Chains A and B, each alone.
Chain A
Amino acid sequence: MSPKLSRRSFLRMAGASAAGLAAGAQLLPKVRVFAAPNGQEVVRISFAGWGQVAEQDGVVAAIEAFQAENPGIEVEWRHTPDTDFTTVFLSNIAAGTPPDTSFIASNNYETFRNQGLLLDITDYITNDPLLGQPDYFLPQEAQRSADDNGRWHGIGSTWVAPHIYYNAALFEEEGITPPGFTDDEIWDWDTFLAVAKQLTVDSNGLHPDDDGFDPDNIERWGVQYPFSNETYIAAAVFSNGGQMVNENGSALDSPEAMEAMQRMADLIYVHHVAPQSASLSSLGMSNTQMLDTGRLAMAVDGSWALSWINSSLLTVPIGTGALPKMTQPATHMQAHFHGALAATEHPDEAWQWLRFLATPFYTLQFMKIGLWLPSQTAQTTEEGLAEWITEGIHPDNYVDFVSEYLPNYGVAYRVPPGYVEAFTNFLNPAYEAIANGTPAVDVMPEAVRQANEVIAAAIAASS
């Protein structure tokens, strides 16, 4: 497992491959291997997944387009709208009614792969005229989808990554230059902290370093850097030169990792620039509501949140910028996979569907609304960007994020088997403790030890 990215210049590569891709894209409508001529039997495959209204609509639209293109295949959408998808998925397997294809949460991908649940699609990809092209996907794709032997058991659906959202009107009012995504626009931690202090105001108009500042009655918080989603922690850890996982499982007991988490917690307890936020709902307001009502100046949230934190939906103008760097710029890239089950009776049809999900039609509809980021190289070229960057949703500098920042500083890693259990039982409670003011060094070593026992057992059980 090597979570670090190659740092090669991404745009150049993208440009070089664009021509080849354009040729490949023309092949797209012709690839109708299973088009059923009159009267031939229709193959029905099922597709299991989760998601709210937007995802639901997107999948339904994709199925219609796919079926129009492939009259011989019918896709049945098995939708679980909310939590506990994994339980639903696995109990269907236990009951002998597994889906043919499915969303696979990135936290489960290695677990399921290890258990032999997923179909090996490497040969399909290699032989595909479009997806088989060497630069069809962004370089990080192989790092999450392929195993140590280079075998693929799924394709990442997209990429998402955390960054900063800020109240642009407030920055202008205060005369502060906001953060951006290019190298000279990325803040270091001290700048970030100073701005956060400047933007934090208590009910008497005082800032955190002023005499008589009242941390119990803060009118506006400088920033929210929550522990509620592991991806924010991962971004901080990578930025501080740490790792999320190593060959033992979790690597969050390293000094770099613990220091990164401590810095996040210090924003709350030492600097008083961030609200206590072990969980979203305990704070009452979401960061969106807080930004909208002027109670928050900056929020760290995932790129997906752009579909609701954007200037056309909020009453304040919203800007975006990179996370502050601790020792180096970094953010964490991830997203769920699309995979076929090893048990499917229709592997060829299942592949056709997975393939369709990795083509522009499906991904563009989510990218346009701010939910997804491109995982296909062609969508990051100038022409490609024009296809999905949407005025009012994507701020002007979002192009920098996609074409410059992410290729260089986005980090992806593979989550080891057994991680869901290790996370629920040990790692997440430790994050909650840190978010509640316990020093990271007091809880992480023990939590990591316990988590890694679970991971070791999961690896042992399936080998």
Chain B
Amino acid sequence: MTTTAEVRNTDPRAQPLLKRRLTLSQRRNITGYLFISPFILGFLLWFLIPALIALYLTVHRWNLISAPQFVGLDNIEHLFNDPLLPQALKATFTYTIVAVPLGLLISFGLAMLLNNQLPGIGIFRTIFYLPSIIPAVASAALWAWIFNTEFGLMNVLIRSLGGPKVPWLQSPDWALPALIIMSLWSVGGSMIIFLAGLQGIPDIYYEAAEIDGAGRWKKLRHITLPMMSPVIFFNLIIGFINSFQVFVAGYLITDGGPTNATLFLVLYIYRTAFRSLNMGYAATVSWLLFFILMGLSFLVFRYIGNRVYYENPGE
């Protein structure tokens, strides 16, 4: 730890003037900031300044062409009487509230299923995981075709079982369920995280429970779930954040329709900004999304986070 000090003693003139006057901790500070300087610069340039611009935009009306016009709190007021915003919120919340828990349940179930040391299990892991890395644009094209009322795979299967033709993407009642089903195809990401978590639970706990005569359900209830709670919590947060930002499916498959049934918040922001060219209001809705996500994260941390069981609390 005194390498530099020794160097200085042997040959002070070899050291630059500035360096000589700095203490070790000062030098560490400079080095540290030099290392993280790309992030700090990026944070200022691509985050803080845009955030300030967004703040400026919330009190202006601007269509990119004429000069921005100060409108006071008009944009914020419009949040409360915008007839489309409740629809966008409803679509986004419904999607999140159904798709995220359902996705967690399924991916957890699949992880349990894969947490077996059977011959050939690796092949199944690969198959279950693969859909989650398919590009969203490609899977949007694919699922638009799968959900096609007349010729799509989904209705072909339903009809071969004697079911009715479901107007998946044509009906406002079915479009959102269709996009939720599509999202379940790619649960592979959270499934693998669950699987890794399951494999991290020491066998000794289960063995001890078996000696106590615990059955399958009891082991799940009293060992697996508590041990897995940090992982479940992590997947929950990631799931919320991702589903609140759902865009590609609504943009490419349904274009927000039919009758605005899949007008997700991000799609609404995109449209407001780049089709209606209402930059001020788009920024205002962006802020709303920001506060919703912050609030949700807070609630999740507050009410679910403190039930999470950590084996080694703190770090």
A and B touch in the complex (CB under 8 A): yes
Indicate with 1 or 0, residue by residue over A78-113, a CB within 8 angstroms of chain B CB atoms.
000000101100110110000000000000000000
Q: Give the contacts of B166-222 with A (CB-CB under 8 A).
A: 167, 169-172
Binding site for B on A (CB under 8 A): 84, 86-87, 90-91, 93-94, 115, 117, 216, 276, 278-279, 281-285, 420-421, 424-426, 428-430, 432-433, 435-436, 438, 450, 461-462
Give the nearest-CB partner of A454 in chain B: B276
Q: What 5 A-B pairs come out closest when comparing CB atoms?
A: A94-B64, A421-B276, A284-B150, A432-B258, A284-B151
Do the beta carbons of B61 and A424 come within 8 Å of each other? no
Inter-subunit contact B258/A436 (CB<8 Å): yes
B275 lies within 8 A of A276 (CB): no
Instruction: Give the contacting residue for B65; candidates A87, A90, A425, A438; CB below 8 A.
Output: A90
B277 at the A interface (CB under 8 A): yes
Q: Are B65 and A461 in contact (CB under 8 A)?
A: no
Answer yes or no: B84 CB below 8 A from chain A CBs: yes
A93, B64: Cβ atoms under 8 Å? yes
A259 to B80, CA, bound (A): 33
The distance in angstroms between the C-alpha atoms of A290 and B276, with both chains bound, is: 35
Minimal beta-carbon separation of A361 from chain B (angstroms): 33
- Give CA–CA (A407, B236) in the complex, Å: 64
Our pick among B151, B274, B276 for the contact of A84 (Cβ within 8 Å) is B274
Question: Are B61 and A278 in contact (CB-based, < 8 A)?
Answer: no
Q: Chain B nearest CB: distance from A249 CB in Å? A: 15
Q: A115-B66, A278-B257 are in contact. Are A425 and B167 (CB under 8 A)?
A: no
Q: With the chains together, A124 CA to B255 CA distance in Å?
A: 42
CB distance from B166 to the nearest CB of A (A): 11
Residue of A nearest to B276 (CB): A421
Q: Are B164 and A278 in contact (CB under 8 A)?
A: no
* Contact residues of B between 149 and 167, Cβ < 8 Å to A: 149-152, 164-165, 167
Question: Of B83, B84, B257, which contacts A432 at CB under 8 A?
Answer: B257
Question: Given A90-B64, A429-B257, A432-B259, do A276 and B170 touch, yes or no (CB 8 Å)?
Answer: yes
Are A282 and B148 in touch, CB under 8 angstroms?
Answer: yes
Q: Verify A91–B170 contact, CB threshold 8 A.
A: no
Residues of B close to A279: CB separation below 8 A: 169-170, 255, 257-258
A90 near B257: Cβ-Cβ < 8 Å: no
In the complex, what's the smallest C-beta–C-beta distance from A111 to chain B, in angstroms?
9
Q: Does B235 sit at the interface, judged by CB under 8 A?
A: no
13 residue pairs bridging A and B, Cβ less than 8 Å apart: A90-B65, A115-B66, A276-B167, A278-B258, A279-B257, A282-B148, A282-B170, A284-B150, A420-B275, A420-B276, A421-B275, A428-B257, A435-B258
Tell me which residues across on chain B come within 8 A of A436, comparing CB atoms.
170-172, 258-259
Interface residues on chain B, size class: 20 to 34
* A-chain residues with CB within 8 Å of residue B164 when the two chains form the complex: 216
In this complex, which of B61, B66, B164, B259 has the most chain A Cβ atoms within 10 angstroms of its Cβ? B259
Residues of A within 8 A of B64 (CB): 90-91, 93-94
Q: How many angstroms from the CA of A115 to the CA of B67 in the assembled complex?
A: 11
CB-based contact A284/B276 at 8 Å: no
Expressed in whole angstroms, the Cα–Cα distance for A435 and B258 within the complex equals 9
Given contacts A420-B276, A425-B84, A450-B83, are A282 and B61 in contact (CB under 8 A)?
no
Give the nearest-CB partner of B149 in chain A.
Answer: A282
With a CB–CB cut-off of 8 A, which chain B residues contact A284? 148-152
The verdict on B231 contacting chain A, using a C-beta distance below 8 Å, is no
Q: Does B297 sit at the interface, judged by CB under 8 A?
A: no
Q: Is B278 an interface residue (CB 8 A)?
A: yes
In the complex, the answer to whether B170 meets A87 with C-beta atoms within 8 Å is no
Q: A426 — which chain B residues lie within 8 A by C-beta?
A: 83-84
B4 to chain A, nearest CB (A): 51
Cβ contact within 8 Å between B65 and A93: yes
B144 engages A281 (CB within 8 Å): yes
Q: Which residues of A contact B260 (CB under 8 A)?
A: 429
Give the distance to chain A from B148, nearest Cβ to Cβ, in Å.
5
- Cα–Cα, bound, A110→B192 (Å): 55
Closest to A117 in B: B65
Residue among A90, A115, A432, A435 with max Cβ neighbours from chain B (10 Å) = A432
Chain A residues positioned under 8 Å from B144 (CB to CB): 281
